[in-house]
């Protein structure tokens, strides 16, 4: 392959060469994107405008919604524009920014869910110390660390990826995805990027172990709670978080633990779509289905009367 390190643009994966199918993909992506925006904006609005939700748990949940909304907004609008205008182009700087922001938000998502596990651990295992440990200063510092560390990791990951000359500009994915970009570099081995990947794997494994250990302690504490009301608190606050964390982890493993294909792969495309779009779309649904306070706040926000048995979709009718 010729050395294309000085290219000014990349060519993203086109979903289909048939114009009718391109329009269909555009409409499907648009509906999913608008649903994701609506769900996360409702969560943000509910927490922001209801003073009953001004607690550490909902503060973290609002940040999670902001991250989810931002992560899909980094990749989906460009894909929508390409499908609508029947093009595949993305500029070099646009690709760089897309990689940086997507890695930043996905990393923030994982780190924040890890912090939320600690919040639930303190609330259930050490309730008398909760106000002291999870004070507002501590919460703000935790979120600041999440955002700053994720930005640093995203910058390191992105700069190491783009530091090596590319021998092709054809990306076999619908956005600039690092595994597929690494397939385009001229060097067979990028030691810096390999080190960053190892660092990311170590951080991911450490976060996974931390959450598992945390929930083992939480389960033990819940089994000791004699009251039904106490166990309901666990199911309304911890179960949604555990489902959200599992969704992100499982979809991410399926999408990235298998090697990226050198050619177009429908399996790669589907797995990446699920990883990038499913968690941001499902998170508001999962939290609102199990959380009575969120449902009540959304009911007030939208001016409709709902019961505790209503699901999130009831608010959209």
Q: Domain locations in the chain?
A: 9-316
**208-240 tens-digit pLDDT:** 899 999 988 888 888 787 777 667 767 767 888
Task: Enter the tokens of residue 242.
Answer: 């555990």
Q: Which pairing describes strands 9-11 and 89-91: parallel, antiparallel, or unpaired? A: antiparallel
Task: Enter the tokens of residue 2.
Answer: 């010729």
Q: How many CB atoms lie within 10 A of CB 16?
A: 12
pLDDT: is 252 or 69 the higher one?
Answer: 69
* Domain 9-316 of CATH type 1.20.1070.10: yes
Phi, psi dihedral angles at 186 (to 5 degrees): -75, -35
Phi, psi dihedral angles at 14 (to 5 degrees): -95, 135
Question: Quick one: pLDDT at residue 190?
Answer: 63
Question: Quick one: pLDDT at residue 313?
Answer: 42
Distance (Å, whole) CA 278 – CA 274 = 5
Q: How many CB atoms lie within 10 A of CB 165?
A: 14
Question: Quick one: pLDDT at residue 4?
Answer: 47
Q: Is the pLDDT of residue 1 over 50?
A: no
Of 30, 44, 115, the residue nearest 73 (C-alpha)? 30
Question: Quick one: pLDDT at residue 304?
Answer: 53
Task: Enter the tokens of residue 260.
Answer: 């990226």
**265-282 tens-digit pLDDT:** 677 788 888 888 888 998
Question: Under 8 Å CB-to-CB from 242, ≥6 apart: which residues?
Answer: 215
Cα 74 off chain centre by: 11
Q: Is the pLDDT of residue 32 over 80?
A: yes
Query: Could you give the angle at the alpha carbon of 177 between the alpha carbons of 206 and 209, nearest 5°?
Result: 10
Q: For the range 119-127, what are the long-range contacts, defined as Cβ-Cβ under 8 Å and sequence gap of 24 or more?
A: 119/56, 119/57, 119/60, 120/57, 120/214, 120/218, 120/237, 120/238, 120/241, 121/214, 121/217, 121/218, 123/57, 123/237, 124/218, 124/221, 124/222, 124/233, 124/234, 124/238, 125/217, 125/218, 125/221
**136-147 tens-digit pLDDT:** 999 999 999 999
What is the average pLDDT value for the chain, to the nearest integer? Answer: 83
Q: Is the pLDDT of residue 172 over 90?
A: no
End-to-end CA distance of the chain: 54
Q: Work out the pLDDT band at 2, boundaries 50, 70, 90.
A: very low
Question: Quick one: pLDDT at residue 307?
Answer: 43
Phi, psi dihedral angles at 90 (to 5 degrees): -145, 135
Question: Quick one: pLDDT at residue 298?
Answer: 81
Mean pLDDT of 101-130: 92
Question: Under 8 Å CB-to-CB from 99, ≥6 apart: which residues?
Answer: 157, 158, 161, 162, 176, 177, 178, 181
Helices (H), the chain: 19-49, 56-85, 92-125, 130-133, 136-162, 178-182, 191-223, 228-256, 266-290, 292-302
Question: Quick one: pLDDT at residue 255?
Answer: 74
């Amino acid at each position: 392959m010729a050395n294309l390190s000085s290219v000014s643009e990349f060519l993203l994966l086109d979903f289909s060469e048939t114009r009718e199918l391109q329009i269909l993909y555009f409409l499907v992506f648009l509906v999913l994107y608008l649903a994701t925006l609506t769900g996360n904006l409702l969560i943000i609005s509910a927490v922001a405008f209801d003073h009953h939700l001004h607690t550490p748990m909902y503060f973290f949940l609002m940040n999670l919604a902001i991250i989810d909304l931002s992560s899909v907004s980094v990749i989906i609008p460009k894909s929508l524009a390409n499908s609508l205008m029947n093009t595949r182009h993305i500029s070099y700087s646009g690709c760089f920014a897309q990689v940086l922001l997507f890695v930043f938000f996905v990393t923030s998502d994982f780190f924040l869910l890890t912090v939320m596990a600690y919040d639930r651990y303190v609330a259930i295992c050490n309730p008398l110390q909760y106000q002291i440990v999870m004070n507002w200063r501590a919460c703000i510092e935790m979120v600041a660390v999440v955002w700053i560390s994720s930005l640093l990791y995203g910058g390191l990951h992105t700069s190491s990826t783009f530091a090596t000359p590319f021998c092709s500009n054809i990306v076999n994915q619908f956005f600039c995805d690092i595994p597929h970009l690494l397939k385009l570099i001229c060097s067979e081995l990028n030691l810096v990027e390999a080190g960053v990947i190892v660092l990311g794997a170590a951080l991911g494994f450490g976060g996974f172990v931390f959450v598992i250990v945390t929930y083992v302690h939480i389960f033990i504490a819940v089994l000791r709670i004699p009251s039904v009301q106490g166990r309901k608190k666990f199911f309304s606050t911890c179960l949604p978080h555990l489902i959200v964390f599992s969704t992100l982890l499982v979809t991410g493993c399926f999408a990235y633990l298998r090697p990226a294909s050198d050619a177009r792969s429908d399996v790669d495309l589907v797995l990446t779509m699920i990883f990038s779009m499913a968690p941001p779309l499902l998170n508001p649904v999962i939290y609102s289905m199990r959380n009575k306070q969120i449902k009540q706040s959304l009911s007030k926000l939208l001016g409709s009367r709902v019961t505790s048995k209503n699901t999130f979709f009831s608010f959209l009718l």
